[in-house]
Amino acid sequence: MFIIWGLKNIRKQIGQTNTTWICKHCKNENYWPVVKDRKWFTLFWIPLIPLNATRNVVCPICGSTLRINKDNEDNLLPLLDIDE
Q: Answer whether residue 9 is part of any domain.
A: no
Q: Answer whether residue 73 is part of any domain.
A: yes
pLDDT per position as a tens digit, 18-70: 888 899 999 999 999 999 999 999 999 899 999 999 999 999 999 999 888 88
Q: How many domains are contained in the chain?
A: 1
Q: Transcribe 34-74 into DSSP letters.
A: EEEEEEEEEETTEEEEEEEEEEEEE-TTT--EEEE-TTTHH
Q: Answer whether residue 35 is part of any domain.
A: yes
Instruction: Give the domain range for residue 36.
Output: 14-82
Amino acid at 3: I
Q: Answer whether residue 6 is part of any domain.
A: no
Q: Answer whether residue 7 is part of any domain.
A: no
Residue 30: what are its φ and ψ, rounded to 5°? -165, 165
pTM of the model: 0.75
